Amino acid sequence: MPLQASGEKRIISEGKKLTDPQKLPEHVAIIMDGNGRWARRRGMDRVRGHRVGAESVREVVRASRELGIHWLTLYAFSEENWKRSKFEIRALMKLLRQFLKSELEEMLQNGIRLQAIGRITKLDAKTREILADTIEKTAKNREMVLTLALSYGGRQEILDAFRSLASQIQEQTLAPEEITEEAISRSLYTSSMPDPDLLIRTSGEYRVSNFLLWQIAYAEMYVTPTLWPDFRKEEFLCAIEDYRKRERRFGATSEQVASKA
């Protein structure tokens, strides 16, 4: 199946929001899981699942932009995914490059800025080059930020932050009491981003698999048995509607939340 959605390009017009922006999550993060199982159930190669999964990515990006969600973060490749076969890794990187190329025009037309978090230097040179090029070309876009987590691990991110803070202390540019929650947040790969409001995981697994460990402290979770290649606009909208019905208390009581509103 080609990555390109029948060559069709869509421009999402300004002000055409599907739902009332009230209580819309500002930041949605997704653990896109289940591509391999989707393929296996059809007697196909795992890579086929990744390829069809790329179509779900396209739909979810479009739907997010239509809704007016400002931040969308997708877990595309974890630090632990390096354990996969060379064949699968190579196929995933190729799919990523194809996706970046095929989506550039639409990202530009719709004001979507691309960024990446993770240990990007571990990716192969060709993939890094296309990634850097897409990031640069979309840098001025302001409507939505699409963040791809690539070679990403939450613990590794926190470890990198510890090292950075420790060296600032060693250089005496930071005092230990200046290590605050904000200072830690600022030292993460996500320094410029708000924490996710909604964390979606497909394929029915109840785990976070080392994704945004610090940042999801108060995220609302939505777990669906749907496998990622089947997770399309309709179910994404269901997840958003589900989120909108929730009461976020952040440790306070329902009454306290109501009196503040």
Residue ranges in contact with Mg ion by CB under 5 A: 33
Is residue 155 within the footprint of ligand IPE (CB under 6 A)? no
Is residue 148 within the footprint of ligand IPE (CB under 6 A)? no
d(CA 235, CA 233) in angstroms, rounded, equals 6
Give one DSSP letter per residue of 78-144, joined into a string: EGGGGGS-HHHHHHHHHHHHHHHHHHHHHHHHTTEEEEEES-GGGS-HHHHHHHHHHHHHTTT--SE
Least distance between Mg ion and beta carbon 170 (Å): 39
Q: What angle do CA 254, 260, 261 make, to 5 degrees?
A: 90
d(CA 239, CA 214) in angstroms, rounded, equals 22
Q: How far is CA 136 from the centre of its chain?
A: 19
Q: Which is nearer to Mg ion, 184 or 213 (CB)?
A: 213
Helical axes 86-109 vs 46-67, angle rounded to 10°: 20
Is residue 57 within the footprint of ligand IPE (CB under 6 A)? no
Instruction: Please confirm, yes or no, whether 133 is among the known catalytic residues.
Output: no
Least distance between ligand IPE and beta carbon 223 (Å): 12
Catalytic residue among 35, 45, 81, 230: 81
| Interface with ligand IPE in residues 200-219 (CB under 6 A) | 203, 205, 207, 209
Q: Which is nearer to Mg ion, 99 or 211 (CB)?
A: 211
Is residue 241 within the footprint of ligand IPE (CB under 6 A)? no
Catalytic residue among 33, 110, 195, 210: 33
Q: Which stretch binds ligand IPE (CB under 6 A): 27-35, 62-70, 137-145, 169-177?
A: 27-35
**Whether the Cβ atoms of residue 220 and residue 243 lie closer than 8 Å to each other:** yes
Instruction: Find which of Mg ion, ligand IPE, none residue 76 binds, CB within 5 to 8 Å per kind.
Output: ligand IPE
Least distance between ligand IPE and beta carbon 20 (Å): 30
Scanning the structure block, which residue is given the tokens 């795992």?
Answer: 46
Is residue 147 within the footprint of ligand IPE (CB under 6 A)? no
Instruction: Please confirm, yes or no, whether 33 is among the known catalytic residues.
Output: yes
**Whether the Cβ atoms of residue 197 and residue 220 lie closer than 8 Å to each other:** yes
Q: How far is CA 235 from the centre of its chain?
A: 17
Chain residues binding ligand IPE by CB under 6 A are 31-37, 75-78, 80-81, 92, 203, 205, 207, 209, 228
By annotation, the residues acting in catalysis are 33, 81
